[in-house]
Chains A and B, each alone.
Chain A
Amino acid sequence: MSARKLIVALGACALLAIVAGCGGSAPMGAADAAGQRDKGPVKIGALHPVSGSNAVDGLQMRRGAQLAVDAINAAGGIKSLGGRKVELVTGDTQGKADIGQSEAQRLISAGAVGLVGTYQSAVSTNVAVVAERNRVPFVMDVTATDTIFARGYRYVFRVQPGSKVIATAAAQYLKQVSEQSGKPVHKVAFLHEQSDFGSGAADAFDAAAQQLGIALGPNISYDAASVSDLTAQITQVKASGADVLAIAGYYRDSLLAAKAIASVKPDLSAVWGVSNGAYDQPKFVSDAGQLGDRYFNTNYHYDATNPQTTALREQYQRTFGDPMRTGAVLSYDAVQVIAQAVEKAGSTDPEKVRDAIAAGQVAPLTVGKGPIEFAGNGDNSNAAPVLMQVQGGQVKQVYPPEKAESRPEYQVTWRP
């Protein structure tokens, strides 16, 4: 009896082992990854949250990366490797750090010469470690947190301006725009979601504002996942006498803030998004309607003044039938960074590709102070945010002047 049970148990194990084992390709280790890189197309890995709550942005970014690969192939592939084609190998992080880690490992084993991704800071933190230990370059398209660069990684790069760069610029733009409009800012209230993203933005903004001599009002945090109403928080802002309200949040909670502002009507001169997930999105304009008019946001953005960007966005719109977001343009840029490094290195050896990335310059389709080039720590030294404003149902770039589509209107709709 007991022995029979043992055999049954063993049979069950064997079955499960087969089930667990069948979900994979042929076994291969690091040596095989090199073999994978030497034949067939040059593989670039894209890791984004294509399912889960950020699936819309994740899918946008995967498509942006694919368009970059298509463009490179249409122009004749990697010329220094005799016109070898480029292929995008994709992974779905589901927005989870542990899934991101195993997907990154899978793409590297499949022969990816570099990775782009991942949209979320927590996931990027994990993928960065995988890239570092496998010695494969990882070019982050969207990852707000700056803490990754405190680790001294050699293989990790970033295209977007980081949390601190955006928040510092937001404070500077606020001072300049308010003074040019004849209503110098005197006190800023800050409303932010409480995770790393919102808190980091608030801390960096506070530090920059103190340097500029701007007084800071209440600093209010909330939980983005569970918040359902921000009226009490906005009432607190109204009572504080602040003339500007800065908001760092994700899409849903920032929309809630807009609704609360519309009902409380605090005495503000401006609503000032800081790397805000809503106030520069076309979706926000349609969801909030009149409520969202004249909202500002300082954030990374596709370069609306660059004809190449406009052409790419038109192509995206034709192909996929919805407007291309900035995240997707950043993914396009990140893939270009890797592909041009392969072109320059004339090799698919990740080590040589990494060195070419570190030494290279790539013209971006997103707003920047110049070509994408990386500082010693791997961060893009020419990354720059831009100030946008919702004007008459459209998101316009308004500051700095060289990237502006129209002039900033420093006021709110409910006060003269």
Chain B
Amino acid sequence: MTATMNSGAITIAGPAGASTKAPPLRPANRQFAILAVLVLLAIPLPAILPSAQGAVAVRILIFALMAVGWNIMSGFGGMFSFGHAAYFGVGAYTSAYLLVKHNVSPWIGMLAGMVVAAAVAVIIGYFSFRYKLQGAYFALATFAFAEMLRLIVTSSKFANKSVGFSVPLIQGSSLWKLQFPADSHAYFWVALVLAGAAVAISIAFLHSRAGRYVTAIRDDELAAAALGTPVMRYKLMTVALSAAITAVAGAFYTQYYLFVNPDLGFGSAVSIQAIVPVVIGGIGTIWGPIVGAIIVGSLTDVTATLLRTPPDFLDFLKGRSGLDVVLYAVLLILIVRLLPKGIVGTIAARWRR
């Protein structure tokens, strides 16, 4: 976490809409500016959306956190992980355990979860890189580690075995306990701050010395090593950062849904949930994970709404379920076939041309 942060407060001179003569920004600062605008735009969202859609908005932010975390390791670092559930679960379980058993604030639990997840990631990473696991073998190893953790948790008494943890409800609301009334806007804002910080960190990381080293290692590890880049150190730094961000997603998930069990924390579906938004949005891009999370997170709800009151020409679909899964599959296939760089990646490539 030693990325040097440039201050991202950028104001563009002139009245809004005057798209002339803005000073050219450095890429990092431009990305920070876009991020600031996005966050500002999102702030009033929960007040506008009906409460059921508010829940979807929070789900999108959780997806975004997971996707940003996965993207740092697998997009920027090129180490394709199929086991991010391990870090999500560690974050979820660490915070839940500390809260339920020792009444520790979820914020402290979140930090603890980040530390434990980073440590786990470094251990997994060290052994994988030490024995030169590449590509598919590395992906399988990460998957195996996540499954191993799931089985350990399922059979451990201190983790409540297969039952998992339920977060105790409190009266009223408290930011320190990270618990608010059911349709409170505060959940969205907390998630927005966390997701915004994660994106800021990923921008800073990408433009930092470590980020440059890591992308160089991704593109040609042998050449980078020959030039004296400390490969192992920077790879481990990347997986630790990625795991820590994913752990935040896990800790927040537990606080929002108030319940975690081995499958919800460590199941392979969780690993897939971290990957899919990035694949759709664009692997190795800053904005890909976010665009992907918005699409994947809202897809279910949009299709379900469509099915409840379909337009006339789709009347035969009324009351059917499972269409979102079909759409999801079709979308994935189309994106992988037609836009292998993902939505953002393709747009960026066109733009450069």
Contact = CB atoms under 8 A, between A and B. Distances in A.
Contact of B304 (A2, A6, A29, A92): A92
B154 A194 contact: yes
Contacts of B164: 122, 196
B53 A23 contact: yes
Interface residues of B, number: 59
Nearest to A22: B302
A182 interface: no
Nearest to B264: A97
A194 B162 CA distance: 7
A204 to B, nearest CB: 13
Interface stretch (B70-78, B89-97, B223-231, B293-301): B293-301
Interface string B72-90: 0000000000000000000
A219 to B, nearest CB: 12
Contact of B259 (A26, A129, A200): A129
Interface string A23-37: 111111110000000
B239 interface: no
B182 A151 contact: no
B183 A105 contact: yes
Contacts of A26: 50
Contact of B306 (A9, A23, A97, A102): A23
B50 A24 contact: yes
Given A55-B322, A97-B259, A27 B50 contact: yes
B321 A51 contact: yes
Contacts of B222: none
A69 to B, nearest CB: 15
Nearest to B297: A20
Nearest to A133: B182
Contact of B305 (A23, A125, A145, A147): A23
A50 interface: yes
Nearest to B323: A51
A99 B53 contact: no
A13 interface: yes
B182 A3 contact: no
B182 A13 contact: no
A24 B30 contact: no
A132 B181 CA distance: 10
Contact of A2 (B22, B161, B166, B302): B22
The list of the 3 closest CB pairs from A to B, nearest first, reads A106-B52, A23-B302, A133-B182
24 contacts: A1-B24, A3-B12, A5-B351, A6-B22, A20-B56, A22-B302, A24-B49, A24-B52, A27-B48, A28-B50, A29-B51, A50-B322, A51-B325, A52-B322, A55-B321, A101-B55, A122-B261, A125-B166, A125-B259, A134-B182, A194-B155, A195-B162, A195-B262, A199-B161
Interface of A: 1-7, 9-10, 12-13, 16-17, 19-30, 50-52, 55, 92, 94, 97-99, 101-103, 105-106, 109, 122, 125-126, 129-130, 132-134, 145, 147, 151, 194-196, 199-200
